[in-house]
């Protein structure tokens, strides 16, 4: 069972995790050095005798090669644990290093069977959005193509929440990661794989996003603390259900136009909202159209709206309020976008989507 540690300027709570560790691989970006929790790790050897080896050679939308380099460093230094102080990209790298660390290095790691190797893994999320600290998924790019790796063994055994890490978050990332959290919760709620447990998490996460939004956008402690929790709970929902068409459609937007992940998925979700509402008769959920209509009604209630149309309008108004711009597409982009969508992911979407529907949604998204 995952251990949760909430930090309120008391990093001594972490000491217990490290007392039996000789050397830890710390996966973090260079910006993590500005965080107060980073100073805790700088003093760790003196406090517990644990050495720290830092790995920062990765970028947003991390590549398989970066994960291989991190795995090589983990092995070379004989590390016996992993800590990620990171957003979604760094967390994905750390998960891959954990999964790859005991695999055969003479073969492509990505093609090998994932086995639980028992390597201790702690996650400190530095954004309130991905919920990666709660999920079994890692997204990386292999030979230019997005690959999703999944295994329960890569869920961090310890998740540490320190709201002070959000204080220096750039405004754009603050908005984009919050939108990612909200989209996770909505997609999980209406996913074909949704069950009673996941819907409880999704409902709670949506309510927490809106309850903490104003304070979070003002960069206040209370809002930062609440949004971190909302992202974690949305992650627990997605861990059960996986995502739907919003995420399937967003990935190529990030690489084509340089959008942050949360920004891209929110643009897709805005158009999917109305599409799902208008096409409940095309529900592919075995529980049927009435079930889907009831689910949409519950999403609206969680968003503080009287019906799903009002909820859709509220979502669109939020994007305008946050000034989330739309990319300027070229005609040739639409074929690229259309072909980029993972068809398997669409089986989890609540309503049927054809390739023509997908292209039309991209066109509406970019021209609206």
202 within 8 A of 186, measured Cβ to Cβ: yes
Tens-digit pLDDT profile for residues 320-333: 999 999 998 899 99
Measured between its terminal Cα atoms, the distance across the chain in Å is 46
**Structure pTM?**
0.94
| Tokens coding 253 | 């937007």
Q: What is the pLDDT of residue 367?
A: 63
Q: Regarding the domain delimited by 169-367, which CATH topology (the fold level of the hierarchy) does it fall under? A: Dehydroquinate synthase-like, alpha domain (1.20.1090)
Tens-digit pLDDT profile for residues 109-165: 999 999 999 999 999 999 999 999 999 999 999 998 889 999 999 999 999 999 999
Tell me how far apart the alpha carbons of residues 286 and 118 are, in angstroms, rounded to a whole number: 38
Tell me how far apart the alpha carbons of residues 85 and 27 are, in angstroms, rounded to a whole number: 6
Cβ-based neighbour number of residue 106 at 10 Å? 5
Domain locations along the chain: 3-165, 169-367
Residue 229: partners with Cβ closer than 8 Å, 6 or more residues away = 161, 208
Q: List 121's β-bridge partners, or say none.
A: 82
Q: What is the CATH number of domain 3-165?
A: 3.40.50.1970
Q: CA of 347: how far to CAs of 61, 138, 167, 193, 336, in Å?
A: 24, 20, 39, 9, 21
Tens-digit pLDDT profile for residues 153-170: 999 999 999 999 999 999
Q: CA torsion angle for 55, 58, 62, 67 (degrees, to 10)? A: -40
Q: List 172's β-bridge partners, or say none.
A: none
Kindly give the pairing relationship between strand 158-161 and strand 3-6: parallel
Q: CA of 162: how far to CAs of 6, 227, 231, 332, in Å?
A: 6, 11, 13, 44
């Amino acid at each position: 069972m995952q251990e949760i540690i909430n930090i309120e300027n008391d990093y001594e709570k972490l000491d217990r995790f490290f007392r039996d560790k000789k050397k830890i691989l710390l996966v973090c970006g260079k910006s993590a050095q500005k965080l107060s929790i980073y100073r805790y790790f700088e003093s760790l050897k003196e406090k517990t005798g644990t050495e720290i080896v830092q790995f920062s050679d990765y970028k947003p939308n991390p590549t398989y090669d970066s994960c291989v380099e991190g795995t090589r460093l983990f092995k070379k230094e004989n590390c016996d644990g992993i800590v990620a102080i990171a957003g979604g990209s760094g967390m994905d790298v750390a998960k891959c290093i954990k999964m790859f660390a005991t695999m055969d290095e003479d073969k492509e790691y990505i093609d090998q069977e994932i086995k639980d190797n028992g390597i201790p893994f702690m996650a400190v999320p530095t954004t309130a959005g991905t919920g990666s600290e709660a999920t079994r998924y890692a997204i990386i790019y292999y030979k230019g193509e997005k690959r999703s790796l999944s295994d329960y063994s890569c869920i961090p055994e310890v998740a540490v929440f320190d709201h002070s890490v959000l204080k220096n978050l750039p405004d754009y990332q603050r908005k984009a990661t919050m939108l990612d959290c909200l989209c996770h919760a909505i997609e999980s709620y209406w996913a074909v794989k949704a069950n009673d447990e996941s819907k409880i998490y999704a409902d709670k996460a949506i309510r927490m996003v809106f309850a903490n939004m104003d304070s979070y956008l003002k960069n206040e402690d209370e809002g930062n603390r609440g949004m971190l929790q909302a992202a974690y709970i949305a992650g627990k929902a997605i861990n059960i259900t996986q995502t739907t068409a919003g995420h399937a459609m967003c990935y190529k937007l990030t690489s084509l136009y340089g959008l942050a992940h949360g920004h891209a998925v929110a643009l897709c979700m805005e158009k999917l909202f109305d599409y799902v509402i208008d096409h409940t008769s095309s529900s592919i959920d075995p529980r049927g159209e009435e079930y889907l209509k009831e689910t949409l009604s519950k999403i609206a209630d969680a968003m503080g709206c009287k019906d799903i149309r009002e909820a859709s309008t509220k979502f669109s108004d939020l994007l305008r309020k946050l000034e989330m711009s739309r990319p300027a597409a070229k005609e040739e982009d639409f074929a690229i976008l259309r072909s980029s969508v993972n068809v398997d992911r669409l089986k989890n979407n609540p309503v049927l989507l054809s390739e023509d529907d997908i292209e039309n949604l991209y066109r509406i998204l970019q021209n609206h």
